[in-house]
A and B are shown apart, each in its own frame.
Chain A
Amino acid sequence: MMRHGPCLALELSLPAAPINPVALERTALHALHLELGARMVPFAGYEMPVQYPAGLMAEHHHTRRAAGLFDVSHMGQLHLMGADASLALETVMPMDVLGLGLHKQRYGLLLNEEGGIVDDLMFVNRGEDLFLIVNGACKQADLAYLLERIGQRCTVLPQFDRALLALQGPQAVTALTRLLPGIEQLVFMTGTPSVWQGEPLYVTRSGYTGEDGFEVSLPAAIAEDFARALLAQPEVQPIGLGARNSLRLEAGLCLYGNDLDPTTTPVEAGLNWALQKVRRSGGARAGGFAGAHKVLGQLQGTTPLRRQRVGLLALERVPVREHTGLEDLSGQPLGAVTSGLLAPTVDRPIAMGYVPPPFAAVGTRMNARVRGKAIPMEVVPLPFVPPRYMRG
């Protein structure tokens, strides 16, 4: 019965495809996922929970109402060390790394020579090192890229065996503060070292859902105990990758591999806000990063943009999925949807996709070609749901 490409590369086949246990890695929470009744799928080289018995919709709503616990240990954690690490990292990202305050976190983009996005990531200045969290599916390639480009200037230390848990939702702070008293003092996009049962953690107030919440990096050996302690809190339910995808899309956040790829520049992706002034033309450390010529040219308007990312709302109740073609009202192709689903909170079909700039203005109408039928779409502002970050 299955034919269409599932979203988020969350393969769902009938009967359930047996997972080859040899080829896939497991996170420290694998046994807990099975105990909780998760449906496991291959994702980024790992066996990961796509949903628990509550189901994607209930998990999505629970995260927006209370607190959801996500195992994101498939993501790659890396430490960059050495006096030159910040300036070295600035040669591969158009971000202000040097000026990032102690325990401040920032969104970053690794670029190739053409300004295309090799990966998107989060990084924190922890004083003794730069702590990077990269996408699971990209982590080996990122490690090789960093070693090749900046491995002579700083120490690049993969920490791929560490676990990473995200606790997201308006009640995340209440639940986590019971385990880590004082953690409520963190504000959005900052981090702090912490200790739980004598073991060192590193906690940031950030996430991938548009909600207030935290990400906790911890040794794999205590990950299950820590997850159980969180799940014992009345606010907390386990949430799978399916709801993680619907939550992040409603929050207007890009998924690497869908909405971002090596052929897409930060400016095309509408991520200009992530490029600090100091790295732009006229800034104290302008340029000097991979792909700078193209990216700075696009920012200044001297290099025309061929396409840019937009938010789209379907005007009929038909889900419009990734790879669906977009066309203008006369039927001329414009581009394609890169993420799309029936959004649980918005309760409408939403999407992100790429179109030429003349079609990117809010209010522009176009059609998506779904199974031969034209489904009317309108460009809308991102995000689809207002963020509820704790900015202090």
Chain B
Amino acid sequence: MIKYTEDHEWISIEGQSATVGITQHAQDALGDVVFVDLPEVGSTLAHKATAGVVESVKAAADIYMPVSGKILEVNEALRADPSLANSDPMGAGWFFKVELSQPAEIDGLLDEADYARLSS
């Protein structure tokens, strides 16, 4: 199940864990991504806390936690090659995986149709 946030992030939920990245619209608006700052594995972050940063040459944007939870894994390949966020934002350009501590928060996220309206 894939959900979206108003902050132009996607979250793919698989049971008690989820993968988070930025949307196609976000990468397009940012332009060439040259740097990502990813959260520390093992850290516990609340919903809407700052989890990282994504920067292009011209702009920087915070990555917020779409849900509360513990960081299970970060995408080291993205750290090494930030352009993955442009070339494959919904796939190889994922940012981090999180263990959900408040699964009910999912209900507050946007579905694809809601997000498409927001970003159109």
Q: Mark A117-141, 1 if CB is under 8 A from B, else 0.
A: 0000000000000000000000000
**Of A8-16, A82-90, A179-187, A299-307, which binds chain B?**
A8-16
Q: Mark A1-26, 1 if CB is under 8 A from B, else 0.
A: 11110111010101110000000000
A55 at the interface (CB under 8 A from B): yes
B57 at the interface (CB under 8 A from A): yes
A1 to B56, CA, bound (A): 13
A344 to B31, CA, bound (A): 13
CB distance from A231 to the nearest CB of B (A): 21
Contact call A1/B61, Cβ cutoff below 8 A: yes
Interface centre among B8, B22, B55 (most CB of A within 10 A): B55
Residues of B within 8 A of A (CB): 7-9, 22, 25-26, 29-32, 34-35, 37, 53-64, 118-119
Q: Mark A141-178, 1 if CB is under 8 A from B, else 0.
A: 00000000000000000000000000000000000000
18 A-B pairs besides A12-B58, A56-B58 with CB distance below 8 A are: A1-B8, A1-B26, A1-B62, A4-B53, A4-B59, A8-B58, A10-B58, A14-B61, A15-B25, A15-B118, A56-B57, A57-B31, A57-B57, A242-B31, A318-B35, A341-B57, A342-B55, A371-B37
Least CB separation from A342: chain B residue: B34
Residues of A within 8 A of B (CB): 1-4, 6-8, 10, 12, 14-16, 50-51, 55-57, 60, 242, 245-246, 317-319, 321, 341-342, 344, 371
Pick the contact of A317 from B7, B26, B35, B62 — CB < 8 Å?
Answer: B35
CB distance from A16 to the nearest CB of B (A): 6
Which chain A residues border B63 with CB–CB below 8 Å? 1
A10 to B29, CA, bound (A): 12
A242 to B59, CA, bound (A): 10
Pick the contact of A1 from B7, B31, B57 — CB < 8 Å?
Answer: B7
Interface centre among B25, B57, B60, B119 (most CB of A within 10 A): B57
Pick the contact of A342 from B29, B30, B35 — CB < 8 Å?
Answer: B35
Contact call A12/B35, Cβ cutoff below 8 A: no
Q: A1-B26, A14-B26, A15-B119 are known contacts. Are A6 and B60 too (CB-CB below 8 A)?
A: yes
Pick the contact of B58 from A50, A318, A371 — CB < 8 Å?
Answer: A50
Interface centre among A8, A10, A15 (most CB of B within 10 A): A15
Which chain B residues border A344 with CB–CB below 8 Å? 57
Contact call B8/A7, Cβ cutoff below 8 A: no
Pick the contact of B61 from A4, A15, A56, A242 — CB < 8 Å?
Answer: A4
Which chain A residues border B118 with CB–CB below 8 Å? 15
Contact call A56/B32, Cβ cutoff below 8 A: yes
Least CB separation from A240: chain B residue: B58
Which chain A residues border B35 with CB–CB below 8 Å? 317-319, 342
Which chain B residues border A51 with CB–CB below 8 Å? 31, 58
